[in-house]
Amino acid sequence: MATRTEPAAATVPVRATRTLSRPVALGVVGLFALVVALVAGVGLGSVAVSPADTLGVLGHRLFGLPAAGVSPAVDAIVWDLRLPRVLTAMVVGLGLAVAGTTFQGLLRNPLADPYVLGTASGAALGAAIAVLIPIRVAILEFGLLNALAFGGALAAIAAVYRLARTGGLGAMTNLLLTGYALGSLLAAGLALAMYLSGSALRQIFGYLLGSFGDASWARLGGALVLVLAGSAPILLRARSLNALLLGEEAAEHLGIDVRRERRTLLALGSLVTAASVAVSGLIGFVGLVVPHVVRLAVGPNARLVLPLAAVYGAVLMAVADLVARLLGEIPVGVVTAVIGAPFFLFLLRRTRSGYEL
Amino acid sequence: MTDPIVDLRGVRAGYGSRRVLDAVDLSIAPGERIALVGPNGAGKSTLLRVLTGLLRPTDGEVRLDGRPVAERSRESIARLVAVVPQVASLPFAARVEEVVALGRLPWEDPLRGPRPGDRAAVAAAIERVGLGRLLGRDARELSLGERQLVLLALAVAQSTRVVVLDEPTVHLDIRHQVDAMELLAGLNRREGTTVLAVMHDLRLAARFFPRIVVFADGRLVADGPPEVALSPERIRHVFEVDPELVLA
């Protein structure tokens, strides 16, 4: 882990090492970790599958190679159960980390996460209503719960944006406070829904803590398309996030149309968040912690932070889900909190200046 | 007579119903060095906001390099005018050189990012402002004065034809005040950069700026060389202080 605390006397002229080689190295390490997490995630579980068999199944399914000595049962475990689950965890981790970086940069607030503007409470209320409604529909394996969680998240943030809109600059604090207020209101609705839910309480509760137990290829496909459709344009807007480092007025002076970029980035970040929570439930800490860890390593440049956060968010979520599975299907949100919170505290103590509001 | 690079004609502006600028005419030729002085609330900062397109005037017109500000994109304004604020806050830790590099954003391809020329401009700006000793430091740990120098270097890296400063010396000690003034004078003389600075220190303004513009109550009340614009009578009248105290 990098400390950013060289002595003041260091007079090396603008360090090229810092600007290039470390991010590249971290990127390579991250991609390697991603492959390891994939193989481990597919291989480990109640039925152990060797890496060779894992690769055998992948080779057979993807490239039509002969699957020597792989039983149909192993094939089904790898291809139908574990692979979509691991990949879904990676897509959601990527999405939450990118959205977290976006919201922190946009709101200029280190405590922001993808859920801060009401998306979480909106999604939760939507999911709870879906559980209470005695209708079961599914289109392409997406059920009412996925649909209402997705819609609830987007509706909540749209409402926050409309209510907070002052038109001018300096609206970020307004957005945060409005998000908090509306979030509290929605949380009251959620509490009522839970109170009324009776035996369905466990299902609502499961959603609130997050899980990848329902992963399937179809759900993975849906999440993948939406998360990438939101994340890719965010990555192309790194310049706007960088300009916002010094504040909204300074960003205008650096050539950014702040109103337009704020609207665009909010919409994209919300899309990514809504798609993530719709398939996995509310998984905390990944969107908060991963951007900070990456920033501590490579500095605040969004051009570096966004792609690295994407990779490490995917790694962290895949590992967290693996741990959750190995511990007997405990909620993955519990694992991310247990990993994330102490790690975050550790990082805060290591940085000299800390994070001021 | 060259065409003005900054041209305000009959500009009125304000916030809501409160009028802050009243019928301001100000024409600045390329390569001028101008200090904007006046009591608090006279409209100096509002003038800077109007001039950079952040505040739309209710009347009159603002032109930058011949084109109305209202027709220019944020990017085209940022490539022409750099603004040095008094202070800026950072939400995350950022090294001095990373903050200075933000000055290159208006020139950066949004997709490809900085090129070698951008890095050279950042290195040159750091050298010029004398920030070498602060490299690698978290900009949030610096003193207010050091941060002001970082923001000055950011504007230098922005490589614009016009630099606008809002009280550039307010947090600086005496030596750095003089250094900053000489840096601006050097930019002005060698690169022909037009410099427009809001100044509270009248002595510093009179010493380093050939042209002084005096504001009072949203109006331009004097415009000329220091000895004319900052006459003892005007100082007594506009600033309501004994001129002996500020100029002696």
pLDDT at A141: 62
Report whether A206 contacts A281 (CB < 8 A): yes
User: What are the φ and ψ backbone dihedral angles of A151, each rounded to 5 degrees?
Assistant: -65, -40
Using DSSP's 3-state secondary structure scheme, residue B56 falls into coil
Contact A247 B88 (CB under 8 A): yes
Query: How distant is the Cα of A268 from the closest Cα of chain B, in angstroms?
Result: 17
Residue B40: what pLDDT? 86
**Spatial distance between the Cα atoms of A123 and A103, rounded to a whole number of angstroms:** 17
Q: Give the per-residue pLDDT at A163.
A: 83
H helix runs in chain B, sequence order: 44-51, 74-78, 96-101, 116-129, 144-157, 174-186, 202-208, 226-229, 232-234, 243-247
Rounded to the nearest integer, the mean pLDDT of chain B is 90
The span from the CA of A249 to the CA of B53, in Å, is 11
Q: Which residue has the higher pLDDT, A40 or A231?
A: A231
Task: Say which amino acid occupies B210.
Answer: P
- Compute, in degrees rounded to 10, the torsion defined by CA atoms A17, A19, A23, A28: -60
For range A5-10, the mean pLDDT:
40
> Per-residue pLDDT tens for A9-56?
334 444 444 455 888 888 989 999 998 998 888 888 777 788 778 878
The model's pLDDT over B205-242, given as tens digits with 9 standing for 90+, comes to 999 999 999 999 889 999 999 988 888 888 888 888 88
List the 94-113 stretch of A: residues with Cβ below 8 A of B: 104-105, 108-110
Chain pair A-B, CB pairs under 8 angstroms? 121
d(CA A99, CA A77): 32
What is the predicted pLDDT for the residue at A136? 66
pLDDT, position A112: 84
B194-198 sheet: strands from edge to edge: B81-84, B162-166, B194-198, B33-37, B211-216, B219-224
The C-alpha atoms of residue B234 and residue B231 are separated, in whole angstroms, by 5
- Which residue is it, tokens 């079961």? A136
pLDDT (tens digit per residue) in A238-287: 999 999 999 888 999 999 999 899 889 999 999 999 999 888 888 989 99
| pLDDT score of B7 | 94
CA B74, distance to chain mean position in Å, is 17
pLDDT at B1: 55
Question: A74 or A102: whose pLDDT is higher?
Answer: A102
Q: Which residues of A touch B115 (CB under 8 A)?
A: none
Residue A93 CB-half CA count within 13 A: 30
Q: Does any CB of chain B come closer than 8 Å to the CB of residue A296?
A: yes
**Nearest beta carbon to residue A299 from set B98, B110, B137:** B98
pLDDT for A34: 93
Tell me: pLDDT of A313 over 90. Answer: yes
Q: What is the pLDDT of residue A20?
A: 57
**Tens place of pLDDT per residue across chain B (248 aa):** 578 999 999 999 988 888 888 888 999 999 999 999 998 888 888 999 999 999 999 999 999 999 999 999 999 999 999 999 887 888 888 899 999 999 999 998 878 888 888 999 999 999 998 888 999 888 888 888 888 899 999 999 999 999 999 988 888 888 888 888 999 999 899 989 999 999 988 989 999 999 999 999 889 999 999 988 888 888 888 888 887 777 65
What's residue A167's pLDDT?
Answer: 52
Read off the amino acid at residue A327.
L
Q: How far is B209 from chain A, CA to nearest CA, in Å?
A: 24
Q: Minimal Cα distance from A239: which residue of B?
A: B110
Asked if A12's CB is within 8 angstroms of B135's CB, the reply is: yes
- Per-residue pLDDT of A343-356, as tens digits, reads 778 767 765 444 44
CA-based nearest residue in chain B for residue A101 = B92
Cross-chain residue pair B105–A303, CB shorter than 8 Å: no
Cα–Cα nearest to A190, from A126, A271, A138: A126
Q: Which of A100, A5, A30 is nearest to A296 (CA)?
A: A5
Minimum CA–CA partner of A109 in chain B: B91
- Nearest chain A residue to B75 by CA: give it: A255
Element (H, E) at B54: none
Q: List Cβ<8 Å contacts ≥24 apart for A335-342.
A: A336/A210, A336/A283, A336/A284, A336/A285, A336/A286, A337/A284, A337/A285, A339/A285, A340/A284, A340/A285, A340/A286, A340/A288, A340/A289, A341/A285
Cα B2 to Cα B94: distance, rounded to the nearest angstrom: 42
Beta-strand ranges (E) seen in A29-97 are none
pLDDT score at A116: 85
Candidates B52, B135, B147: best to mutate against A (most CBs of A within 10 A) is B135
Both tokens of residue A285? 């800490």
